[in-house]
Amino acid sequence: MHLKQELFNGELILDSLEQNIFVKDVNSVYIFANNTYAKLLGKKPSQIVGKNDLDLFPKEIAQKYRDDDTIVIQSAQVIDIEEDIIVGNKKRVIRTIKKPIYSNGEIVAVVGIFWDITNEKLEEKKYEKLQSGLMQAQSLANIGHWELDLVTNSLYWSDEVYRIFGLKPQEFGATYEAFLKHIHPDDIDLVNNSYMNSLEARIGYHVEHRIVRENGEIGYVEETCEHEFDADGNPVRSIGTVHDITKQKVVQNELLLASTVFEKMNDGVLITDSQQRILAINKAFNKISGYTLEDVKGKRPAMLSSGWHDNIFYKSVWDAIISKGQWRGEIIDRKKDGELYTAELSIIALYNDDGILTNYISITNDISAKKQQEKLIHNLAYYDYLTDLPNRVLFEERFVSRLSAAKRSGKKMAILFIDMDNFKNINDTLGHLVGDKFLIEVAKSIKALLREQDTFSRLGGDEFTILIEDVDSIIDIVPVVKRIVNTFHTPVEIEDKKLYSGVSMGISVFPDDGETYEALIKAADTAMYHVKESGKNGYQFFAQSMNDKITERVFLENNLRNAISKDEFFLVYQPKVNLETRSVYGMEALIRWNHGESGLIRPDKFIHVSEETGQILEIGLWVAKQAFIDTKILHDEGNMLTVSINVSSKQLEDESFVDDICTLVQDTGIEISYVELEITESHIMNNVDKALAILNRLHKKGFKLSIDDFGTGYSSLSYLKKLPVQTIKIDRSFVLDIDKDEDDRVIVATVIAMARSLGKDVIAEGSETKEHIDTLKLLHCHKIQGYYFSKPIKIDAFREFIRDFKGEGKSA
């Protein structure tokens, strides 16, 4: 009764509530139902009271409600469940709470309350969605928010704030003091003051500070905060955001660092875009090149090129950049003012994360200074400070490095060792300064006489050395040697003073005088001392044989020049005998030189020299003229002999030779068919086509032609056939042993047979003995020239010889 009274006191209120409320006794019989619940079941409250669920609901549902009641009653539990039910065809969410009702400590009834929370649920879901969206946004933006309730001093952090501090959400007891704990010690005052000041000033604040994450990492955050105040103006709440700016900060710091480095670097840096247009340069680059950013911006680095490198070089650079991403090397560029500089350059291609080329960076290290330093050191080690010539060390190195090449090519090398004759005197009387200047002038004068490839060095003092390479014949270096000696026949002028000093030069030759540098330098030095001893001012070879050769050569050259005008040449004639007719049918004119002092000089000695100097042209014509004159007289006397003259290759190469000799034929009145020209086989074989052309011309003019020294020049039958020659003259070397040497005999026999088959005549020269003659006869060679019959003799003697000739040789 008591209970009921209590309940009914509140009945009115309960009836007005939206919630469905009921009370059941411990036997699950309804003792109360409010209006809402009754309405829901389509009844009046009075129709429910006294009934149980089995009376009101289908059996299954009723049983379930009964079970719930039992739980509440027996285990004194509260049931609070949400469940979905279908009303009509709509889904609704229902929340049900069942609680025990106690009276004097005993459970006497169950109160149930349930209501439709469908709309609430929807709102909740919306909010949740919003909430999670916000969180996501915060997380994406690295922004968290916090609220500080200043009344309760409770702090709320959004999940993102936790994340920023490196904490697990909600793990951390959020208070303002706890927050301060996570601020970088150095920034605590800043943050604290910002907050306190802003609170006092009643305006928000904005501060950037460092934090220490739970794992000790340092981060950067940007905080903003606003305050809320109550009606009395007391602060009640602070609301703030925390923005994690660590990443930006790092990038910013890196950029700052990079730009500081960029500007402070000693190396010049140039950055272009992917199209190689210049974007930026640093101070160092400006210093190195002289260009400012305005000068180069938007232009291409090619504008810096010096013109020293060819396209192949630049192509190799770009090939490397494209294939390897970078290139490193030395390059010569040009400064703004035109000056060149040597730089150690690195060019790097920069790609972004997607692998797309974005920039090129070139780092220039001006090494001109370093180069100069290196050069200086190199110069000190290898060059003479006074004359800038290579020094002793470099000279030796050069020699040694060229040695193997010389050995391979088989060519000679010459070392010229020069010592100034009067240097000591100049130095002692005029002082070292003049002495130095003198040496510089000497170096200049000598250098001017040398070729680029000759190595000219100063060994020290007044000693100079020259290395001449690629020497075919020692004779070849005589001209330059003489030029050097002759240069110092005129004085060297220093400060209006005329300083006379000849040179003494010693020459050694590789490999003739030695195979090593030491041996050759010593030999050249020795030769130089011989010059000094024999009166200075001149040159000498180390090997006496060379000196002789050179002396003779120089003598011949000098004396040949005047031999014709001095009438020193004369001719001798050697008869040509026909064994079959036992008669002299011709003669060979051979030149002799009667040099006043040196006596008779044989042609073997001077023809070669005259060929080299070109004097042979004049000499050859002199011989022809003299021979024609002598022969013409013989002809006039009734001795119709053929005269043979030797024609040098140099003469045949001379354009005017054919005309000149024809003129002589006319002038002397000799019958041309009695003139034979002997031309050596080797000359013809040197250039067959050219020789053939000239021989044809001579042949057409009416000259007889003969191949001299046959067997030494590798003739082939096919050429022989084409040549307009009448006679083949077998070389003396085959005749020499023809009676003893079977091989020689076979060769001569072959030549004779071959000549026959071609319709050519054969003559054997150098026949000295009866045995020679007999053998040649057996081989059917009937024309003979040689000492056996006569040595070459003067024309008067020759005239007597033919008059007395009986067809027999001397031993006959």
- Per CB under 6 A, residues contacting ligand C2E are 574, 590-591, 602-604, 607, 620, 623, 646, 648, 678, 708-709, 732, 765-768, 786-787, 792
Min. distance of Cβ 783 from Ca ion in angstroms? Answer: 13
Q: Could you tell me which of 585, 713, 703, 698 has the C-alpha nearest to residue 652?
A: 698
Q: What does each C-alpha distance from 444 to 464, 494, 552, 811 come to in angstroms? A: 12, 13, 31, 68
Asked if residues 277 and 300 have their Cβ atoms less than 8 Å apart, the reply is yes
Residue nearest Ca ion, CB atom distance: 678
Query: Which does residue 126 touch among Ca ion, ligand C2E, none (CB within 5 to 8 A, set by kind)?
Result: none
- C-alpha 752/C-alpha 730 separation (Å) is 9
Judged by beta carbon distances under 5 to 8 A according to partner kind, the member of ligand C2E, Ca ion, none in contact with residue 591 is ligand C2E
* Shortest distance, position 658 Cβ to ligand C2E, whole Å: 16
What Rg do the C-alpha atoms of the chain give, in angstroms? 62
Q: Tell me whether residue 538 or residue 603 sits nearer to ligand C2E (CB atom).
A: 603
Distance in Å, CB of 802 to ligand C2E, minimum: 17
Nearest CB to ligand C2E, comparing residues 407 and 602: 602
Spatial distance between the Cα atoms of 154 and 177, rounded to a whole number of angstroms = 11
405: Cβ–Cβ under 8 A, 6 or more apart, which residues? Answer: 469
What secondary structure does DSSP assign to 297-362, as a single string? TTS-GGGGB-S-S-HHHHHHHHHHHHHHSEEEEEEEEE-TTS-EEEEEEEEEEEE-TTS-EEEEEE
Residue placing its CB nearer to ligand C2E in the complex, 163 or 576: 576
Q: Which does 391 bind (CB under 5 to 8 A by kind): ligand C2E, Ca ion, none?
A: none
> Smaller CB distance to ligand C2E: residue 484 or 730?
730
Residue number with CB closer to Ca ion (191 or 735): 735
Among Ca ion, ligand C2E, none, the one that 792 touches (CB under a kind-dependent 5 to 8 A) is: ligand C2E
190, two tokens = 């800043």
Kindly state the smallest distance separating residue 710's Cβ from Ca ion, in Å.
9
Element (H, E) at 163: helix 159-165
- Residue 207's DSSP bridge partners are 223
Q: Residue 623: which of Ca ion, ligand C2E, none does it interact with, CB under 5 to 8 A by kind?
A: ligand C2E
Place of tokens 């504008």: 303
Residue 492 CB, nearest distance to ligand C2E (Å)?
A: 45
Residue 45 or residue 711: which is nearer to ligand C2E going by CB? 711
- Tokens linked to 275: 């199209």
What are the angstrom distances between the C-alpha of 344 and each of 366, 454, 669?
Answer: 6, 33, 83
SS3 121: helix
Q: Which is nearer to Ca ion, 469 or 678 (CB)?
A: 678
Cβ 678 to ligand C2E, closest distance in Å? Answer: 6
**Residue 105 tokens, joined:** 């400590």
Pick what 295 binds: Ca ion, ligand C2E, none; C-beta below 5 to 8 Å, kind-dependent: none
Backbone angles phi, psi at 125, to 5 degrees: -60, -45
SS3 144: strand
CB under 5 to 8 A by kind: which of ligand C2E, Ca ion, none does 454 bind? Answer: none
**C-beta of 112 vs 711, nearer to ligand C2E:** 711
575 binds, among ligand C2E, Ca ion, none (CB under 5 to 8 A by kind): none
45, interface contact from Ca ion, ligand C2E, none, CB < 5-8 Å by kind: none
Q: What is the 3-state secondary structure (H, E, C) of 372-415?
A: HHHHHHHHHHHECCCCCCECHHHHHHHHHHHHHHHHHHCCEEEE
Beta carbon of residue 591, minimum distance to ligand C2E (angstroms, whole number): 4
Pick from ligand C2E, Ca ion, none: which does 786 bind, CB < 5 to 8 A by kind?
ligand C2E
Amino acid at the residue 784: I
Smallest gap from Cβ 776 to ligand C2E, in A, equals 12
Q: Between 449 and 736, name the residue whose CB sits nearer to ligand C2E.
A: 736
Cβ-based nearer residue to Ca ion, 278 or 623: 623
Nearest distance in Å: CB 393, ligand C2E: 50
Q: Which is nearer to ligand C2E, 53 or 681 (CB)?
A: 681
Selection from Ca ion, ligand C2E, none that 514 binds (CB < 5 to 8 A by kind) is none
Q: Tell the smallest beta-carbon distance from residue 594 to ligand C2E (Å).
A: 14
Q: How far is the CB of 459 from ligand C2E (least distance, A)?
A: 45
Task: Name the 3-class secondary structure at 654.
Answer: coil
DSSP three-state, residue 725 = coil
In the block, residue with structure tokens 């007395």: 804
Give min distance, CB of 709 to Ca ion, in A: 5
Cis peptide leading into residue 58 (ω within 30°)? no
Distance CA 521, CA 526 (A): 9
Q: Which residues bind Ca ion (CB under 5 A)?
A: 646, 678, 708-709
**Partner whose footprint covers residue 773, from ligand C2E, Ca ion, none (CB < 5 to 8 Å by kind):** none
* Residue number, 462 or 708, with CB nearest to ligand C2E: 708
367 closest CA partner among 460, 264, 288: 288
Find the helix or strand (DSSP H, E) in which 593 lies. Answer: strand 583-595
Q: Which helix (H) or strand (E) holds 140?
A: helix 118-141
